[in-house]
């Protein structure tokens, strides 16, 4: 349950950040070439990675059902919910690092 609350908090912080983007991260405009959503310069990672982390923390069951490889012998998922939560926390850590880099 705490993972889902943390994911919802990340979404709320992300919405606030996108609304106040030029004030919070002025270095982001120098990293991208013509627009905020231009990929390849780092801006898309700063904006998109927190949402991926929140999705991994809020819906780990979805990722386990859809994207986890399945064992041939038992038919169950090889990557459990805990692994997808770990990926979510790792993505959250990387997105925080990118946030500080472009700040």
- What average pLDDT score do residues 79-102 get? 89
Can you tell me the distance from the alpha carbon of 71 to that of 74, in angstroms, rounded to the nearest whole number?
6
Instruction: Check residues 24 and 64 and name the one with the higher pLDDT.
Output: 64
Contact predicate 52/60, CB 8 Å? no
In this predicted structure, which of 36-40, 56-60, 71-75, 85-89 has the lowest mean pLDDT?
36-40
Write the pLDDT tens digit of every residue in 6-57.
Answer: 888 988 988 887 777 767 766 666 555 555 555 556 677 778 889 899 999 9
- Residue-level pLDDT at 60: 92
Domain boundaries, the chain: 2-102
Three-class HEC string of the chain: CHHHHHHHHHHHHHHHHHHCHHHHCCHHHHHCCCCCCCCCCCHHHHHHHHHHHHHHHHCHHHHHHHHCCECCCCCCECCCHHHHHHHHHHHHHHHHHHHHHHC
Q: Which residues pair with 70 in a beta bridge?
A: 77
């Amino acid at each position: 349950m705490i993972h889902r609350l943390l994911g919802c908090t990340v979404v709320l912080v992300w919405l606030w950040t996108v609304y106040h983007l030029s004030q919070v991260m002025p270095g982001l405009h120098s990293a991208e070439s013509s627009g905020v959503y231009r990929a390849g310069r780092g801006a898309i990672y700063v904006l998109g990675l927190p949402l991926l982390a929140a999705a991994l923390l809020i819906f780990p069951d979805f990722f386990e059902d859809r994207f986890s490889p399945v064992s041939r012998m038992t038919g169950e998922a090889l990557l459990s919910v805990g692994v997808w939560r770990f990926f979510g926390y790792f993505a959250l850590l990387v997105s925080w690092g990118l946030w500080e880099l472009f700040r």
